[in-house]
Amino acid sequence: MDNPYISQAFKEEAETTRERNERRYEWEYLGKAIGSGVVPFDNLHVEAGCITDDMVANFDNIRNGNDFGYATDPNAFVRWHYDKKRNGIYAIDEIYEVKLSNRKLAERLQAKGYQSDEIFADSAEPKSIAELKDEHGILRIKGVKKGPDSVEFGERWLDDLDFICIDPLRTPHIAQEFENIDYQTDKDGNPKPRLEDANNHAVDATRYALSQDMVKGQRAGSINIANLGFR
């Protein structure tokens, strides 16, 4: 970036990218080969201020999802608006914390007024779901049962949207995960048709949040819809 012919605006844009996404900066501005070399979500629109309070006030097709975590993995709660007409989703809110107990998660949800909303969570944590329901008043949380093809199908469904709109000022962790996620690679470095299973807690929670939409009126292509397991 020491080239005197590079404009100040370009340098500022590069610096903003570096601060938000080091991997993208190295790939896009330094030309380094990073991960699979394939961008998983080319429908991603991340821009500060792209989702306003007025927009959120008018969002009426809300989807909530939660991926449980505790010690080293964060608990990731995500809240989206699904615009069916425009075939896109908007990130509205998040709760993203390590060492967040179920009691504290319930308190966070209640403070935001989400305690009565339908929330789809990882069915691998039935005890946590039961505790949130029975002890903490989060009555509409339910587990998403996942079939053998549900992860790949969910990722393909998200990639097939016309846009995924995220304001990093509003939901910084959702933005970070979606911008940094990469495909798994084989031993030769070739990308596999599945995202890395690391630093993807908000991405997983997003799949849970939209799981019911993924099987309504969708054609699963080569994937047997009976294997999706979303219910």
Q: How far apart are CA 6 and CA 2, in angstroms?
A: 8
Place of tokens 């630093």: 199
Residue 96 pLDDT > 60: yes
Q: How far apart are CA 7 and CA 132, in angstroms?
A: 53
* Residues sharing a CB contact under 8 Å with residue 31, sequence separation 6 or more, in sequence order: none
Rounded to 10 degrees, the C-alpha dihedral 216/217/221/223 comes to 20
User: Where along the chain do its domains lie?
Assistant: 8-37, 42-227
pLDDT at residue 225 in the model? 38
Percentage of residues of the chain with pLDDT beyond 90: 56
Residue 102 pLDDT > 50: yes
The first and second tokens of residue 223, run together, are 């994937």
Topology annotation, domain 42-227: Nucleotidyltransferase; domain 5 (3.30.420)
pLDDT digits (tens, 9 = 90+) for 56-95: 999 999 999 999 998 899 999 999 999 999 999 999 999 9
Residue 162 pLDDT > 90: yes
Q: How far apart are CA 187 and CA 191, in angstroms?
A: 10
Mean pLDDT confidence for 137-147: 90
Residue 142 pLDDT > 80: yes
Average pLDDT of the chain?
83
How far does CA 37 lie from the centroid of its chain?
A: 20
Asked if 192 and 186 touch (Cβ cutoff 8 Å), the reply is yes
Radius of gyration of the chain (CA): 19
* Model confidence, pTM: 0.76
pLDDT at residue 231 in the model? 46
Look at 199 and 229; give whichever has higher pLDDT: 199
pLDDT band at 197 (very low <50, low <70, confident <90, very high): low
E strand spans, the chain: 44-46, 62-67, 75-83, 88-97, 119-122, 141-144, 163-166, 183-185, 191-195
